[in-house]
Structure 1
Amino acid sequence: MERNDLLEWALYLAGMGWPIFPLAPGTKNRPMVKDWENRAHRDTDRIRRCWNTGRFNIAVATGPAGLVVLDPDVPDEGKPGPDGWTNLTALAAERGGPLPTTYTVATPSGGRHLYYLTPAGTSLRNSQSAIAAYVDVRAGGGYAVGPGSVTAAGAYELLDDTDPVELPGWLVQAAAERASTANSAPVQIRSVDTTRYGSAALAGECDRVRRAGPDTHNAVLSAAAYTIGRKVGANLIDHATARAALIDAAGHMVTAGCDCTAREVARVVDAGLSAGARNPVAHRAA
């Protein structure tokens, strides 16, 4: 019997714990099922029945799989500027990285797919060139073409079978910032009682930081600092007051038996406040 390599890859990816679904043979953007995000599965019997009927490419449903796949690609021919990998490594240097080694698939265009675990308590969606030029994010609502798949441009090849590691906090923060800037209309705050509003917002975010579990420390603290930073940028909260309150609220993170240190807590708070201040909330006169 002829070896069915695509079936083997499909079973392998399902064995990784990732729900999959078929793509039309030779394609990367033609799902063979409707509502694929909800119908993706890991059932080996169904996979065998499906892939024994045709040489379907394989899609990993990133949201149900609990994955965030970064897709740093190369510019289309004739377009200027550095490629996605260069931009992603520059972002890592700017944010204090590093970009951790993880499960990696080479794409036919010369790019790569970096598979990361979605941190607990976070919810990320697809984006295109939002965190950096030519760097797409495949998360909720998206899928990644799995290794073994073949298109006219070439094959998707497994480069590194390292088990996926958790998406680092600085990338969670970068994705959240860009999503907020790109998708949210400016929040309008009346100028009356701005001190009261700012104090209430700070108290709420500090309470969220205090309740963060060990597996969500970085993500929650980054998000809280960014949220408050937007108020600092709008002069609704004093920077020094906000910084001191957030660091105090995160005190339990240093003594919780995880890898957090006082220095790291301060770094995350400072980065979040600075990033948020660059995208301040808007407020108008009463």
Structure 2
Amino acid sequence: MNEHLLKAALAAAADGWAVIPLRPGDKRPALHGEASCPAIGDCAGGHRKWEQRATTDPDRIRAAWSHSAFNVGVATGPSGLVVIDLDLPKTKNNSNADTPCGVTTFQALCERTDQPLPTTRTVRTASGGVHLYFTAPAGARLGNTAGKLAPLIDTRAWGGYVVGTGSITATGCYEVIDTAPVAVLPEWLLGLLQPQAPRKAGPLRLPAVSGSRAAQAALERECVVVSGAPDKQRNTTLNRCAFKVGRFVAWGDIPRHEVEEAFQAVGEARGLTAAECRTTIRSALDCSIRKARPRDAA
């Protein structure tokens, strides 16, 4: 096993990809943290994080993998890679059996933007997902994203890593299913993944809505909350705020389509994709309406 994984690490390094050891049979790094840093070797001048310690040096790789059957982690940023992770829905008692997988949502994204499916190095993950490997365009420094392109589509670039080919976990192995050369990230995907320029704050403008005064006030108040949500909490905030307004829809105080239009507008203005907004709003309203207590018991 050590020999198999050592060869996998060396093969990745030969492609110019910086690697780190992952725990045997696991996806977590097998490297010390700052609290337990021995201050020797790479860290002699101060603790260095895993991304800084990723290497393509064959001698260092042989030395590391001689200690254990480490899985292979590919540090995407230092390797000049952008990897698109097409995941499977998390299922529990088959409750999400009909949820589209990442491959399906990526195909839909390509169709919606009138773009062909990219041909590039493709790896099947242990869980049955797919990793699409791309070379980062010159001058681009992208970070990781989660669901930015569409549901169940994440990306790994600077600040991230992926489990490399040949690695093995309890659910299976990572193997190449398309040996095509690693393509440069298409411009249309680069445009979707690049950080948006900071937006100038302006007055919140919502679609005209009907309904009771209480419902209108609640909708406006929750839309203001969404518009000011921190970047990493935009989707969570949208879900929470839409859920709060859902009871007014259940009581018949305001039409559902007006609530959806208002939250859709403010969600997209805050930087979420149209698909993210639609999915989150519908899910939150469905749940809220289903759980809403009668008005006199609320």
Instruction: State if a TM-score over 0.5 links the two structures.
Output: yes
Q: Is the 8 A contact 2:124 2:177 kept in 1?
A: yes
Q: Which residue of 2 aligns with 1:17?
A: 16
Matches of 1:97 and 1:11, distance apart in 2: 35
Write out aligned runs for 1:1-286 (5 A).
Answer: 4-34=3-33, 35-77=49-91, 78-79=95-96, 80-176=98-194, 179-180=195-196, 186-188=199-201, 279=269
Matches of 1:44 and 1:123, distance apart in 2: 26
Q: Is the 8 A contact 1:72 1:134 kept in 2?
A: yes
The CA RMSD measured in Å over matched residues stands at 2.1
Amino acid corresponding to residue 200 of structure 2 in structure 1:
V
Q: Is the 8 A contact 2:2 2:68 kept in 1?
A: no
- Work out which of the two has the higher radius of gyration on C-alpha atoms and give 1 or 2: 2
Structure 1 residue 118 displacement after superposition: 0.5
Structure 1 residue 144 displacement after superposition: 0.8
Q: Is the 8 A contact 2:146 2:154 kept in 1?
A: yes
If each structure's strand is expressed as a fraction of its own residues, which one has the higher value?
1
| Cα distance, 1:56–1:3 mapped onto 2, change above 3 Å | closer
Structure 1 residue 108 displacement after superposition: 1.3
Structure 1: tracts of 5 or more residues without a match? 191-277, 282-286
Structure 1 residue 188 displacement after superposition: 2.4
Q: Is the 8 A contact 1:69 1:137 kept in 2?
A: yes
Matches of 1:29 and 1:114, distance apart in 2: 20
Q: May I ask how many residue pairs the two structures share in their alignment?
A: 188
Identical columns (%)? 43
Q: Is the 8 A contact 2:20 2:29 kept in 1?
A: no
| Cα distance, 1:112–1:279 mapped onto 2, change above 3 Å | same
Q: Deviations over 1:27-56 (max 9, x none)?
A: 112342441111101110111111111100
Q: For residue 78 of structure 2, give the secondary structure of its aligned residue in structure 1.
A: helix
Matches of 2:58 and 2:32, distance apart in 1: 17
Structure 2: tracts of 5 or more residues without a match? 34-48, 204-267, 272-298
Structure 1 residue 96 displacement after superposition: 2.0
Q: Is the 8 A contact 2:2 2:65 kept in 1?
A: no
